[in-house]
Amino acid sequence: MSAGIFAAPDADSQLLGGVSEGEEVTVEGRSAIGEWFYVRDDQGVEGFAYAPRFEWTGDYESLPVKQTTVTPAPTSTSPSTGTPYPLLTMDLWDIVGTEYCSRGVWYKSVYIQGHGGDGVYTYYWNGEQLTDPTGEGFTFEVHGAGGPIIGTGKIVSGDGQEVSRDLFIAEPDCGN
């Protein structure tokens, strides 16, 4: 089950990143109220993630309480205009419940979305361009013929920033 990483223990707060199903994060604490872990992913993104979306066997109450801290977002400066832009980040995860199998091939949807930069993004999967520049997130389908796949999502912002990340997608149970 995938989950967002938020700046505060509230799904309406700023989304900082995401955790795909099967991806591991470090649990560093919990929120003072509600059921939110304070986590750090493998890219160093830290924030609050809704605890019931994780498989975790530790003692929730024994975790240190983390407070919401608002820090200014890092910025990048456009080389052509000198305009400062927020640092480009990405959401990339496979979408639970979209998998299906047909004639020995499995299919699953993947979601990718940019944050920061100039707000205009071109999306790539394994080096292939998926979209023309857009301000929206994008969902696409991947497929495999046996075993899991690892693909690379990449986002290029209109201000020249780019970010990429590998995504491990487990083979769904096709009843084999």
Question: Would you say domain 75-169 falls under CATH 3.30.70?
Answer: no
Instruction: Name the CATH code of domain 3-54 (choices 3.40.50.300, 1.10.357.10, 2.30.30.40, 1.20.58.1290).
Output: 2.30.30.40
Summarize pLDDT for 2-28 with one digit per residue, the tens: 788 888 888 777 777 788 777 888 889
In the chain, CATH 2.60.40 sits at 75-169
What confidence category does residue 71 fall into, taking pLDDT thresholds of 50, 70 and 90? very low
In the chain, CATH 2.30.30.40 sits at 3-54
Q: What pLDDT sits at residue 73?
A: 47
pTM above 0.75, yes or no: no
Residue 5 sits at φ, ψ, to 5 deg, of: -110, 120
- Which of 32-41, 75-84, 141-150 comes out lowest in average pLDDT? 75-84
165 or 75, which is more confident = 165
